[in-house]
Amino acid sequence: MKKAESHTHKPEKAAETSTAATGPVAANLPVAAELTPEQLEELKTRAAKADEHWDRLLRTAADLENFKKRAARERIEAAQSASAALIQKLLPVLDHIEMAQAAAQTAAVPQSGIASLQAGIALIQQQLKSVLAESGLEEIDASGKPFDPTWHEAVSQQEIADVPEGHVVQQLRKGYKLRDRLLRPATVIVAKKPAAENSKSEGKNQPVK
């Protein structure tokens, strides 16, 4: 009989334990407080300002994107306008070249005609140089100047006594730059001391025995 009574009291203890465990947790839970009308009005005001700032951000992003597209379009149009202006200046030069070619294809050209043709070609060359110079093109004249790897391209060296070593002996092809930007370096031959002079200088520097 004692064993049966002990079994009947165990569920009550378990229930008391669970109640004791859950009681403090429930007591610590926050209780939802009702908002006052002033607080509700403040929340509405903040929400309206947030919507306003978001709309402003969207408009600013759209304006920035439109500005980028407009700037890119203007750059393309400016480049096309510059190219068109340069081509318009070169058209008369092209006409003169075609006229010179037609004159050169004449079967019988007298001596005076050859001189006139040469003068016409020289005039065309000068006209073309003038148009390109207006666009900022500059020739790189390297003849007789010290070799500069920034503007010159050496293809060989030549032993010569009349030109200082490291100077340009001959310019094979002109170089060009567009303002300060290199378009094509000048192709040159650079001076080098003759081997005989080098041997003489080495002999002078040797000590006398």
Give the model confidence (pLDDT) of 164-193 as tens digits.
Answer: 999 999 999 988 988 888 989 999 999 999
Q: What is the DSSP letter of 145?
A: S
> In this model, does residue 8 exceed pLDDT 60?
no
75 alpha-carbon distance from chain centroid? 14
Look at residue 15 in the predicted model and tell me its pLDDT: 46
Least confident among 9-13, 44-48, 181-185: 9-13
Report the alpha-carbon distance of residue 77 to residue 178 in Å, rounded: 21
Report the alpha-carbon distance of residue 209 to residue 202 in Å, rounded: 15
Contact criterion met (CB below 8 Å) for 190 and 157: yes
**Dihedral, CA atoms, 89, 95, 96, 98, nearest 10 degrees?**
140
Look at residue 26 in the predicted model and tell me its pLDDT: 46
